[in-house]
Amino acid sequence: MSKIINVKGFKIKIPEDFNVVKIVDVEEYCRKHRVLGKRCDSIIVLKDREGVSYIIAVENTGVPELRDLEKLELCIERADLFLKEQYRENKIFIKILHYKGGIRTPLLPALKAKAIEKWKCNRPLDFYSIYRRIKES
């Protein structure tokens, strides 16, 4: 079984045995605290029953560009700032590019090199599919 949560304009499907620890609207946080620079749209923290934290940075975009990938990279580097808690042990960072348009071919190697998952906006983001790929690698 799975459950669906709404996060800033998109849906994410997560397995029942995962808990939502925190959802951060990064843009809102940066406006409120006057943080400048590139940033992703959202950070979601999930925890499984073994206590592993999955820190997920999500960038919503139309047609993906290199700057969208940079936003995800910077968001993960600065995740502790946005979360205000330290997830020092048992954490896995996941970067997701949630897009509406097509992905240009030259961008595909960069997605793979930066370990960024891509997910088309026309269906809920299925975290379990991404989770399985991470566990297999």
pLDDT digits (tens, 9 = 90+) for 11-66: 889 999 999 998 888 888 878 878 777 778 888 999 999 888 899 999 888 889 98
Could you tell me how far CA 61 lies from the centroid of its own chain?
A: 13
Residue 86 has a pLDDT of 65
Residue 46 has a pLDDT of 92
Number of domains in the chain: 1
* 3-state SS, residue 65: coil
State yes or no: pLDDT of 81 exceeds 80: no
Query: What is the residue range of 21's domain?
Result: 2-136
Average pLDDT over residues 94-116: 87
**Class of residue 25 by CB neighbours under 10 A (exposed 0-12, middle 13-18, buried 19+):** middle
Tell me the C-alpha distance between 24 and 12, whole Å. 14
CA dihedral 95, 131, 79, 105 (to 10 degrees): 0
